[in-house]
Amino acid sequence: MNASRIAVAVNPTSGQGRGAALGDAAVAALSTLGASVQRLEGTSAADLAARIAASLDHEDVDALVVVGGDGMVHLGVAAVVGTDVPLGIVAAGTGNDIARTLGLPVRDPQAAATVLLEKLATGGRRIDAVEVRPEETAGDGAPRWFAGVLAAGFDAVVNERANGWNRPRGRAKYVLAMLAELPRFSARTYTVTLDDEAAAVEKAMLVALGNGPSYGGGMRVCPDASMDDGLTEVVLVREVPVPTFLRIFPRVYSGSHVRDPRVVVHRARRVRLDVEPVRGRKIVAYADGERIAELPLTCITHPGAVTVLA
Ligand SMILES: Nc1ncnc2c1ncn2[C@@H]1O[C@H](COP(=O)(O)OP(=O)(O)OP(=O)(O)O)[C@@H](O)[C@H]1O
The yes/no answer to whether this complex scores an ipTM above 0.95 is yes
Q: What percent of the chain has pLDDT over 70?
A: 98
At 136 the pLDDT is 77
Span from the CA of 71 to the centroid of ligand 1 (angstroms): 5
In whole numbers, what is the pLDDT of the chain averaged over residues?
Answer: 96
3-state SS class at 148? coil
96 Cβ inside 6 Å of ligand 1: yes
What's the CA gap between 156 and 7, in Å, rounded? 32
What's the CA gap between 163 and 182, in Å, rounded? 16
Q: Whose CA is nearest to atom 31 of ligand 1?
A: 45
Q: Whose CA is nearest to atom 7 of ligand 1?
A: 44
3-state SS class at 4? coil
Shared domain for 147 and 283, answered yes or no, is yes
Q: Give the pLDDT mean for 133-148.
A: 82
At 142 the pLDDT is 72
Beta bridge partners of 308: 87, 125
Shared domain for 200 and 148, answered yes or no, is yes
Per-residue H/E/C for 211-243: CCCCECCCECCCCCCCCCCCCEEEEEEECCCHH
pLDDT of 137 higher than 70: no
Domain that holds residue 113: 5-123
Q: At what angle do helices 45-58 and 70-80 cross, to 10 degrees?
A: 40
What's the CA gap between 174 and 162, in Å, rounded? 6
- Nearest ligand 1 atom to alpha carbon 16: 22
pLDDT of 228 higher than 60: yes
Span from the CA of 241 to the centroid of ligand 1 (angstroms): 34
Shared domain for 118 and 160, answered yes or no, is no
Contact between 14 and 71 under an 8 Å Cβ cutoff? The reply is yes
Span from the CA of 41 to the centroid of ligand 1 (angstroms): 12
Shared domain for 31 and 157, answered yes or no, is no
- Binned at pLDDT 50, 70 and 90, residue 141 comes out as low
290 Cβ inside 6 Å of ligand 1: yes
At 169 the pLDDT is 83
- Nearest ligand 1 atom to alpha carbon 68: 18
The total domain count for the chain is 2
- Binned at pLDDT 50, 70 and 90, residue 138 comes out as low
307 Cβ inside 6 Å of ligand 1: no
- Nearest ligand 1 atom to alpha carbon 72: 18
Strands 5-10 and 36-40: parallel
Q: What is the pLDDT of residues 10-46, one digit of tens each?
A: 999 999 999 999 999 999 999 999 999 999 999 999 9
pLDDT of 244 higher than 80: yes
Nearest Cα residue to 252 out of 284, 286, 213, 285: 213
Q: What is the CB neighbour count within 10 angstroms for residue 72?
A: 30
Q: Which of 123, 151, 185 is the last residue of a domain?
A: 123
212 Cβ inside 6 Å of ligand 1: no
At 143 the pLDDT is 82
pTM of the model: 0.97
Shared domain for 90 and 217, answered yes or no, is no
Burial of 70 (0-12, 13-18, 19+ CB in 10 A): buried
Q: What is the pLDDT of residues 57-101, one digit of tens each?
A: 999 999 999 999 999 999 999 999 999 999 999 999 999 999 999
